[in-house]
Amino acid sequence: MAVPRAAKTQRRTRIQEEKEERILDAALDVFSSSGFRGTTIDQIAEVAGMSKPNLLYYFRTKEAIHRTLLERMLFTWLDPLQAFDADGDPESEIRSYIRRKLEMSRDFPRESRLFANEILQGAPHIEDELKGPLKALVDEKAEVIRAWIKAGKLARCDPYHLIFSIWATTQHYADFDVQVRAVLGERRAGEGRFEDAARYLEQLFMSGLKIGIQSEP
Amino acid sequence: MAVPRAAKTQRRTRIQEEKEERILDAALDVFSSSGFRGTTIDQIAEVAGMSKPNLLYYFRTKEAIHRTLLERMLFTWLDPLQAFDADGDPESEIRSYIRRKLEMSRDFPRESRLFANEILQGAPHIEDELKGPLKALVDEKAEVIRAWIKAGKLARCDPYHLIFSIWATTQHYADFDVQVRAVLGERRAGEGRFEDAARYLEQLFMSGLKIGIQSEP
DNA sequence: TGATAATTTGACCGGTTGGTAAAAACATAC
DNA sequence: GTATGTTTTTACCAACCGGTCAAATTATCA
């Protein structure tokens, strides 16, 4: 009897781990650029270099692959915001948050697009995660920001929209990559665009929030 | 002989115009939330309240509907940037550009999501539009911004990334609407969120670009 | 080595999908 | 009325899609 995913040995074999990883990597490729419904198992199988039934031996359904990817992604997604430290000072905390998020757009664009796709379609698979853990985390960090404002370390502003604007501007470079490249043209669309973006965003947010500037009482 | 779309009369009849409009509206609904491949003709037909073959009498293929929507959308999409006036002053021009883009996110979220979907999938249908007309327009406006900076009316910054950041922050409220609502919670997710966003973004960009502030020579 | 379990394959299935054909139903002009 | 052109419907098809099954192949280990 061939029960998938090694029910007998319980411990996953080397070959299982490798194949599952290859499948998830291929699936991330396809899902992130075609969305859930736009992706076929055959496409994933082809990218992963195996037959469809073989792939389905490791993941029983298309949904199972997608679910696994979303779970992994959400975890790393919340990570930078977790690191936001109430005891740090606003300047370095916000600055490094922006930098980290931008690095994620540069290094994990597929994950960003997978997330964007999911949200665009109305977040059918992760609505609970958004309303639960994500909201809780943002609420917590918004409170931190509010405290900084009260302490006069930051310009008065809506903490939620501040967070939204950091998400939007940084993820833009992953999600709208094609557009960014098209507009910048070949000459400026190299890897340097991320450093340019970092410089610009730092300036925008730092002086936009009047961090380190004591003008206007 | 029944040639679709009135080849004989040449002029489109009232009934044709109405039906085509209904189809496009329904298609915008479905395409914007499911992407091209994720959308079925049957879904569009059902939302439009007609049978699939009847729908295909007005648009011969799924692609034809999609193409029509994208063309229309691109036109209105570039409109606010067109309005960017070199002879105006930076403060009011940028301020009103942000306001307009945000209004578009509020009033035409489906169009925004249609565009986002297309870009996410690598812009297969509009790559030429991006590299041609869009790039040309942005190049032109970037030059305007550069001139403002040279004239000391604006903080020194990369004009392209300035434009990107306005796109990103404003469109975020349409494309990531589900997430925004989830995070804000029921209490704050009403229509007022757009006014909050407008206030916040105005502050961010106005003081971020040091418009009207003469600190630091 | 052989026995046993894990992996891979090819053939297949029912449902869906984009799209067609032809004729029925409807509108319009004379 | 009838003739002509337009719109809608019914029935259909071939390709595709997610997933199953049983048999064949390969790895593991006593």
- ipTM for the assembly: 0.91
Average pLDDT over residues A139-143: 97
DSSP code, position B216: -
Closest listed residue to residue A88, CA positions, set A143, A148, A156, A152: A148
| A35, A172, A215 member nearest B164 (Cβ) | A172
d(CA B206, CA B189): 25
Q: Are B180 and A164 in contact (CB under 8 A)?
A: yes
* Rg, Å, chain A Cα set: 21
Average pLDDT over residues A163-187: 97
d(CA B201, CA B169): 8
Confidence of residue A217 (pLDDT cuts 50, 70, 90): very low
What are the tens digits of pLDDT across the range A73-83? 999 988 999 99
Interface test with A, best of B42, B114, B165 (most A CBs within 10 A): B165
Q: Are A83 and A131 in contact (CB under 8 A)?
A: no
Closest listed residue to residue A182, CA positions, set B173, B137, B32, B100: B137
Q: Which tokens belong to B15? A: 């009934």
In B, minimum Cα distance to A206 occurs at: B208
End-to-end CA distance of chain B: 75
Diameter over CA atoms, chain A:
76
d(CA A49, CA B42): 33
Angle, helix A159-175 to helix A177-188, in steps of 10 degrees = 60
Q: Which of A66-70, B83-87, B147-151 has the least mean pLDDT?
A: B83-87
d(CA A37, CA A44): 13
Closest listed residue to residue B171, CA positions, set B116, B131, B129, B117: B116
Q: Which residue stretches of B83-134 are H helix?
A: 90-107, 109-120, 127-129
* Burial of A109 per CB tally in 10 Å (0-12, 13-18, 19+): middle
Q: Are A155 and A210 in contact (CB under 8 A)?
A: yes
Query: For position B44, what pLDDT does the model report?
Result: 98
| A38, A122, A215 member nearest B33 (Cβ) | A122
Spacing of B1 CA from C22 C1' in Å:
11
In B, minimum Cα distance to A183 occurs at: B135
The owner of tokens 């040639």 is: B3
| Amino acid (one-letter) located at A33 | S
Average pLDDT over residues A102-124: 96
DSSP code, position B37: T
Query: For position A17, what pLDDT does the model report?
Result: 86
Q: Which residues in chain A have their CB less than 8 angstroms from residue B167's CB?
A: 172, 176
User: Computed from CA positions of residues A78, A83, A86, A89, in that sequence, does the dihedral angle turn out positive or negative?
Assistant: negative
CB-based contact (8 Å) between A168 and chain B? yes
Q: Do A172 and B165 touch (CB under 8 A)?
A: yes
Q: pLDDT exceeding 90 applies to what percent of chain B?
A: 78
Query: For position B15, what pLDDT does the model report?
Result: 74
Q: Which tokens belong to B51? A: 């049978």
Query: Looking at per-residue confidence, does A91 or B7 come out higher?
Result: A91
Q: Are B122 and A181 in contact (CB under 8 A)?
A: no
CB within 7 A of strand D: which residues qualify?
A 2, 13-15, 39-42, 52-53, 56, 60-63; B 1-4, 6-9, 13, 15-16, 19, 50-54, 57
Q: Are B38 and A37 in contact (CB under 8 A)?
A: yes
d(CA B202, CA B198): 6
* Burial of B151 per CB tally in 10 Å (0-12, 13-18, 19+): exposed
* Strand C contact at CB of residue B18, distance < 7 A: no
A15 Cβ contact list (under 8 Å, min separation 6): none
Closest nucleotide over all strands to B62 (CA to C1'): C18
Q: How many C-beta atoms lie closer than 10 Å to residue A190's C-beta?
A: 11
Q: Which residues in chain B have their CB less than 8 angstroms from residue A127's CB?
A: 178, 182
d(CA B118, CA B105): 16
d(CA A196, CA A175): 17
- Please report, for chain A, how many H helices and E strands are present, in that order: 11, 0
Angle, vertex CA A155, rays to CA A152 and CA A156, nearest 5: 95
Nearest chain A Cα distance for residue B46, angstroms: 19
Confidence of residue A170 (pLDDT cuts 50, 70, 90): very high
What are the tens digits of pLDDT across the range B92-138? 999 999 999 999 999 999 999 999 999 999 999 999 999 999 999 99
Spacing of B84 CA from D16 C1' in Å:
48
d(CA B202, CA B103): 13
Q: How far is CA B19 from the centre of its chain?
A: 24
CB-based contact (8 Å) between B136 and chain A? no
